[in-house]
Amino acid sequence: MGETSLKLLAFTDFHGNNDAFARARQLLRKGKWDGILVAGDIINHDSELAKRRLTELAEVSGPLFFVLGNMDNPELVFWPGTSSVRPLHGKSATIGPAFLVGLGGSPLGPFHTPFQIRDEEATRVMAEAMVGFSKGKLILVSHCPPINTKLDIVPSGEHAGSLPVRNFIEKFKPTIVISGHIHEAKGIDSIEETTLINIGPAQRGNYAEITLNNRASVTIGNF
């Protein structure tokens, strides 16, 4: 990997689907990746199984960086990870020219899922993750997409994204924001110069390839 080149493979919303994990491992074996990003909803409720599945992905082609989804067990917040599996919720990591920060969970909603957080908490978590950032291509991994884009529209037509994520984008202008959560809104959008990706659920075979060099290139694929 050169100083100005980075190749990442990203997933979200496995929801414990064993076939999706198996296909993701097959996909990882077909290429050479500088890192793997997982944007949450790994295993519904089961933190120990989530740890095993993330470790299995990293064993194929690490390092792996992840945030929790709203359906993941909040206990995962306290897992320190391993040498090849790195939690990103409220934390940061550098990989090549990229500075990664993470936000897990989702805004408060009507379904009382396991990991929902208030807007003020989400703002604080992302601010803590940004400590130490000075340069590099900033990448935000957020389970929930920003509000008021093509990527947060639920079947009723309402926007169900995160206001703190949008505020973060407008303030810090990351190169890329990677998200999932709202299964029906898979796609690519932008806010000013920031590329936004809702990968679409891995349980339906979705993934994203991201290449960073002088510019960001994103492709959403299906396995």
6-222 folds as Purple Acid Phosphatase; chain A, domain 2 (3.60.21)
Averaged pLDDT, 61-80? 95
List, for residues 101-132, the tens digit of each pLDDT value: 999 999 998 888 999 999 999 999 999 999 98
Mean pLDDT of the chain: 94
Domain ranges of the chain: 6-222
* Contact of 115 with 90, CB cutoff 8 Å: no
Which one, of 163, 217, 181, 212, lies nearest residue 1 by Cα? 212
pLDDT average, residue stretch 178-203: 97
The tokens for 78 are 């306290």
Banded pLDDT at 2 (limits 50, 70, 90): very low
Distance between CA atoms of 16 and 45, rounded to whole angstroms? 9
Alpha-carbon torsion angle 201, 187, 32, 66, nearest 10: -50
Which pair of tokens denotes residue 190? Answer: 């932008």
- Nearest to residue 25, comparing CAs of 44, 52, 53, 67? 53
The tokens for 189 are 């959008």
pLDDT in tens, 6-48: 999 999 999 999 999 999 999 999 988 999 999 999 999 999 9
Query: Considering the entire predicted model, what is its pTM?
Result: 0.95
Q: What is the mean pLDDT of residues 163-178?
A: 97
